[in-house]
């Protein structure tokens, strides 16, 4: 209860609580598009490229989040443009932007006059340092993403899974791709203080992967990924409050543990299905073997009674009549309709 009371009592803890909710919504919805379109490496590249904007902002003496935002948006749009034009492979462009962004950030931080700034809150996150302006920006971004998920999720889904099919349906593929690239950059930069550059890729990736193991619906994955990310952020914040550990690391650890649960259930279900299938195959094999033994016994009986076969069944039903049907002087009329002239 003291944690809940602290949210209402301390301003920084209230900001952390709001940041956990809003960044979870933003990363959950955006992460669904990232995982569906297989852009996890791209999100990691944008995350690390934003470090270059942080370094330039410190050197210029401006807000580092603003510098990271500009650098991340330009990097995301540049990668999308280069990959769309076929000038350079997408994975190559991501690797270049990833390393160049980190190099630029380190160079400009060391060129900054005076003491080098403490970058731990950017690299590993410190949700308690989120400002009122950061909360407002996260709120606007989360609202826009919720509206996007409510009204424009289907064209986004088309672009994420099959761009050619999206074009055939009249979806402006390039426009949707650029818009989602901007949303990715915004969600990444505005969530850096909550989780950190190093760990943010996990908050974008793990919630959709967890939900995707339980459902195949893109809409359900988007909404439940947001709910999962929010729950993990709040749980990480509570553990951080109790155990005095970084909230971002606690959040990712909780998500990793949560990921093991549905996949364990899924693999157990697969194992049970394989066991049932093997049991069914064994049952069929046993049934087939039993039928073969019965047929062999029938044939052996007729071989041992050739006189009955010749005298009693001129109708040709020799091998297909059960011996019990042959009583003295009578044939089973359902098979040959004649009378036996000699008893079996």
In our burial notation (b when 16+ CB lie closer than 10 A, e otherwise), range 279-307 reads eeeeeeeeeeeeeeeeeeebeebbeeeee
Domain shared by 9 and 139, yes or no: yes
Q: Specify the pLDDT at position 235.
A: 93
Cβ 248 vs Cβ 194: under 8 Å: yes
35 shares its domain with 163: yes
Q: Residues 202, 145: one domain?
A: yes
Diameter over CA atoms, the chain: 120
Q: Is the pLDDT of residue 48 over 70?
A: yes
Kindly state whether residue 149 falls inside one of the protein's structural domains.
Answer: yes
pLDDT the model gives residue 293: 58
Residue 25 confidence class, pLDDT cut points 50, 70, 90:
very high
- Looking at residue 313, the DSSP 8-state letter turns out to be -
Residue 46 lies in a domain: yes
Single out the residue in 220, 244, 269 at which a domain terminates. 269
How sure is the predictor about 287, in pLDDT bands with cuts at 50, 70 and 90?
low
Say how many C-beta atoms besides its own lie within 10 A of residue 182's C-beta.
14
The predicted model gives 246-259 an average pLDDT of 89
Question: Is there a domain that residue 289 lies in?
Answer: no
Instruction: Verify that 80 and 130 share a domain, yes or no.
Output: yes
Query: Between vectors from CA 145 to CA 235 and to CA 233, what angle results, nearest 5°?
Result: 10
pLDDT at position 306 is 57
- The CATH number of residue 118's host domain is 1.10.3470.10
Q: Could you tell me if 253 and 341 lie in one domain?
A: no
Provide the number of structural domains found in the chain. 2
- Same domain, yes or no: 312 and 198: no
Residue 15 CA from chain centroid, whole number: 29
Q: What is the pLDDT of residues 118-169, one digit of tens each?
A: 677 788 888 888 889 889 999 999 999 999 999 988 899 889 888 888 898 8
Lowest mean pLDDT among 240-249, 277-286, 315-324: 315-324
Please state the rounded mean pLDDT for residues 280-300.
58
| Mean pLDDT computed over every residue of the chain | 79
- Domain with 75, as residue range(s), is 2-269
The reply to whether 319 and 185 lie within a common domain is: no
Which stretches within 152-246 are classed as H helix? Answer: 153-161, 163-168, 173-190, 192-195, 200-212, 218-243
Would you say residue 340 has pLDDT above 50? no
Which pLDDT value is given to residue 227? Answer: 95
Q: Quick one: 209 and 255 in the same domain?
A: yes
- Judgement on whether residues 143 and 40 belong to the same structural domain of the protein: yes
188 and 247 within one domain: yes
Higher pLDDT, 333 or 89: 89
Q: Of the candidates 251, 269, 287, which is a domain's last residue?
A: 269
pLDDT at 57 over 80: yes
Mark whether 38 and 119 lie in a shared domain. yes
pLDDT (mean) for 164-188 = 90
Asked whether residue 127 is domain-assigned, the answer is yes
**pLDDT single digits (tens) 190-205:** 988 888 888 888 899 9
Question: Is residue 308 pLDDT above 80, yes or no?
Answer: no
Same domain, 153 and 55: yes
> Residue 332 — very low, low, confident or very high, per pLDDT cuts 50/70/90?
very low
Question: Residue 320 domain-assigned?
Answer: yes
158 falls within a domain:
yes
């Amino acid at each position: 209860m003291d944690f809940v009371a602290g949210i209402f009592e301390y301003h920084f803890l209230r900001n952390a609580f709001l940041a956990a909710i809003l960044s979870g919504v933003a990363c959950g919805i955006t992460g669904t598009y990232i995982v569906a379109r297989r852009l996890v490496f791209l999100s990691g590249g944008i995350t690390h490229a934003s470090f270059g904007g942080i370094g330039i902002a410190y050197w210029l003496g401006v807000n580092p989040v603003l510098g990271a935002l500009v650098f991340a948006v330009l990097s995301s749009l540049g990668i999308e443009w280069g990959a769309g034009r076929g000038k350079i492979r997408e994975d190559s462009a991501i690797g270049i932007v990833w390393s160049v962004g980190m190099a630029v950030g380190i160079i400009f931080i060391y060129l900054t006059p005076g003491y080098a700034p403490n970058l731990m809150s950017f690299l590993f996150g410190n949700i308690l340092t989120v400002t009122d302006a950061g909360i407002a920006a996260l709120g606007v971004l989360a609202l826009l993403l919720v509206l996007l998920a409510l009204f424009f999720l289907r064209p986004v889904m088309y672009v994420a899974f099959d761009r050619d099919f999206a074009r055939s349906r009249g979806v402006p593929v390039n426009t949707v791709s650029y818009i989602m690239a901007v949303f990715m950059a915004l969600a990444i930069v505005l969530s850096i203080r909550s989780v950190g550059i190093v760990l943010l890729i996990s908050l974008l990736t793990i919630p959709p992967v967890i939900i995707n193991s339980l459902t195949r619906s893109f809409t359900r994955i988007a909404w439940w990924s947001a709910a999962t990310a929010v729950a993990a952020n709040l749980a990480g914040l509570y553990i951080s409050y109790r155990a005095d550990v970084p909230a971002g690391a606690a959040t990712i650890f909780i998500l990793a543990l949560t990921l093991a649960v549905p996949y364990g259930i899924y693999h157990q279900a697969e194992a049970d299905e394989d066991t049932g299938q093997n049991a069914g195959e064994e049952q069929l094999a046993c049934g087939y073997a039993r039928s073969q033994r019965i047929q062999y016994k029938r044939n052996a009986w007729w071989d041992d009674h050739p006189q009955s076969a010749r005298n009693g069944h001129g109708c040709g039903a020799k091998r297909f009549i059960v011996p019990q049907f042959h009583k003295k002087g009578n044939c089973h009329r359902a098979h040959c309709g004649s009378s036996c002239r000699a008893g079996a």
